Chain A
Amino acid sequence: MRDYLRTHEGEVRLFVVLAALTLFLGFASPIFLSAGNLASLLNNNAVNVIWAVGLLVVLIAGGIDISFAVGASVAQYLTALALHAVGGGNWIVGLLFAGVFGITIGCVNAALIAGFRIISIVATIATFNALFGLLMFTTSGKSIYDLPDWWTDRVAVASLGAGGALTLPVAGMVAAMAATWFLISRTTTGRQIYAFGDNPEGARRAGVATVKIQFIAYGWLGLMGGVGGLMQVNLAQEVVPNALIGRELDVLAAVVLGGARLGGGRGSVFGCFLGVLLVAVLQNGLNLLGVSPYAFKMLIGLTILAAISFSNFDLGALLTGGARRRGDVGIS
């Protein structure tokens, strides 16, 4: 336990902030801790968590991916078309389709990044534009509402009490978190992902198959993108080609808030979950406290700014004016 506190300082700090916020909101608003509110919090943020743990793997491997939300949209649309073609299908077929489409898109990114040595942020900004443009052009922005019943039916998987049913996306979230945790903390591949992210050249010399690692990282994010897209349809009951655009930056902010480092080598599944949840709880709390919805984004932005400022802030160095060890200011 003491080891955990020492090695996961960021997660612990975030947990304390989240706990304090939860406690405060619990007293300030009678609705906040109700089963219904907690369940809807989890239901509505499950998809973000699924994407967040996918993005986490890429960040740990020292990369970044701006294109995953667009990739998820493409996978979602293709899945809807493919399911229509096979005459409906079921959850297994749907997961298979979404997973395969997602992994394919992830592997395209990996091929550009590992195969052609294009910097990840450049490659994924390019694929973002290419995928988004092609999706909107080929679909003419048309939404799909005629979806198989199994896909849009609400499935309650657990209950938090009266009126607080957790739906299928939450089960997907738990599965995604467990699988990602297993991948990065319990397998040799996972250790190699951390090693590669921390020091690519060192990992290569130690015998890590660097190209394979990058294909696994971006492929995993692609898989999570596809699964997240599948779950999002279950919530939204429709496939809208440009509905997920913009979510990538929110998820990125939440993941980094959760302790993952841009530049690689650090981050945890639990931290990711806390990062997404902190933003969600904050927004939910502001809503319950009767703050104008127009002020939400401003206050959330301010909170993230404060959080990143204080998590890097070294008071002693500022007081003594000494040259303190600076973080890397480059993009990776």
Chain B
Amino acid sequence: MSALAEGMGRVFGREVPGLLALLALTVVAFGLTSPQFLSVANFDSIGFQLPDLGLLSLAMLAPIIAGGINLAIIATANLSGLTLAWILNMNGGPQAGVLAFIVGVAAALAVGGASGAAMGVTIAYFGAHPILASLAMMIFLKGLGEFLTRGGDISGFPAFLGELGHGVILGVPVTMLVFTAAAIVWHVLLSRTRHGFSVAMIGSNPRASEYSGIHVRRSLTLVYALSGVMCALAGILMLTEFNSVRVGHGEALLLVTVLACFLGGVDPFGGFGRVAPVFVSLLILQTLSSGLNLLGANQHLSTAVWGLFLIAVMVLRSGTPALRALFESIRR
């Protein structure tokens, strides 16, 4: 058992076994208190709610590992969604064909990537602080979206988009499959490629990376560009799920994505962080939310519990020496 945990820790990060135990604990606790919790319908609803938050958390994860942050993820996702909506509407709205959708998706991904790249250039080449640069980018992109839509929402899309947003393949929601695939790609990119290595090194120590021959500025720009592409994917999924696009949609998720990353043991100073523990943290957050929902609480209580949960985990994890010793002795 402990060998299994160790092996999992080596491949996916040492936070994973502990988080999985926490997830199991949550599932059991809610399973005992609420009879509907262990039903198929409930796991279905988790599967439908998770992907948006999940993709956005992935988009948040990479910049944090690089020692930065991307506060513009929601704005980028919204603007990319708008791009797709615009191209669909140009091609007949509800009558738009698959080709228009493919072109629209490509354009949306390009817009997301370009927004991210612009932010990356501001951070890497102009030396702006990531919090500030992404904050300004958020205000700008949100403003651009408001300017283009006049604050309204765009809807009226072809019916086959609903198949994507609400469809199921072999019992698994399509959006969940997209998110899982994206998570695997992200995992490989960040832990198995040269770029992923550069990102972690830059997050640990930018100057040492520079002296070791890593092209710091180019790598940083690329991280933010890829983060933008991931946001675009989230924006596209959101469009297919809600069948409409509006600036400001999903804004409440911004800080939750940061929360999911930190819960997954990502180092806030950069350099360390993996996809798998963040994936498990997302499952925990969504499970907490669904469980509380079944017990009759609303989304606001879930938000509060998420926050308190993060505080509890951080207190246990990085707490005072006495608490830390206690925590270590439990883990042994």
Contact = CB atoms under 8 A, between A and B. Distances in A.
Pairing of A with B? yes
Nearest to A249: B135
Interface stretch (A95-103, A111-119, A220-228): A111-119
B140 interface: yes
B140 A118 contact: no
A331 B123 CA distance: 12
A313 B127 CA distance: 7
Contact of B130 (A253, A305, A313, A331): A331
Interface in A106-133: 112, 115-119, 121-123, 125-133
A309 to B, nearest CB: 4
B303 A133 contact: yes
B133 interface: yes
B144 interface: yes
Contacts of B308: 126, 130
A129 B256 contact: yes
B69 interface: yes
A309 B206 contact: no
Contacts of B130: 329, 331
A138 to B, nearest CB: 9
Nearest to A307: B136
Q: Main SS of chain A's interface residues?
A: helix
Contacts of A132: 300, 303-304, 307
Contacts, number: 198
Contacts of B144: 298, 301
A262 B129 contact: yes
Interface residue tally on B, bucketed by range: 35 or more
A66 B306 CA distance: 16
A298 B146 contact: yes
B310 A129 contact: yes
B268 A119 contact: yes
Contacts of A301: 136-144
B206 A326 contact: yes
A127 to B, nearest CB: 6
A27 interface: no
B262 interface: yes
B307 A137 contact: no
B223 to A, nearest CB: 11
A305 B142 CA distance: 14
B269 to A, nearest CB: 5
B44 to A, nearest CB: 25
A115 B310 contact: no
Contact of A331 (B138, B151, B259, B268): B268
Contacts of A298: 140, 143-144, 146-147
A295 interface: yes
Interface of A: 64, 66, 112, 115-119, 121-123, 125-134, 136-137, 141, 246, 249-250, 252-253, 256, 262-263, 292, 294-302, 304-305, 308-310, 312-314, 318, 323, 326-332
Given A295-B143, A298-B146, A332-B269, 15 more contacts: A64-B131, A116-B314, A116-B319, A118-B315, A125-B307, A129-B306, A131-B304, A133-B304, A249-B138, A250-B139, A294-B147, A294-B150, A301-B142, A304-B139, A326-B210
Interface of B: 64, 66-69, 71, 122-123, 125-133, 135-144, 146-147, 150-151, 202-203, 206-207, 210, 220, 251, 255-256, 258-259, 262, 268-270, 297-298, 300-308, 310-311, 314-315, 318-320
What 10 pairs between A and B have smallest CB-CB spacing? Answer: A133-B304, A301-B140, A297-B143, A129-B307, A298-B143, A130-B307, A133-B303, A301-B139, A136-B300, A304-B136
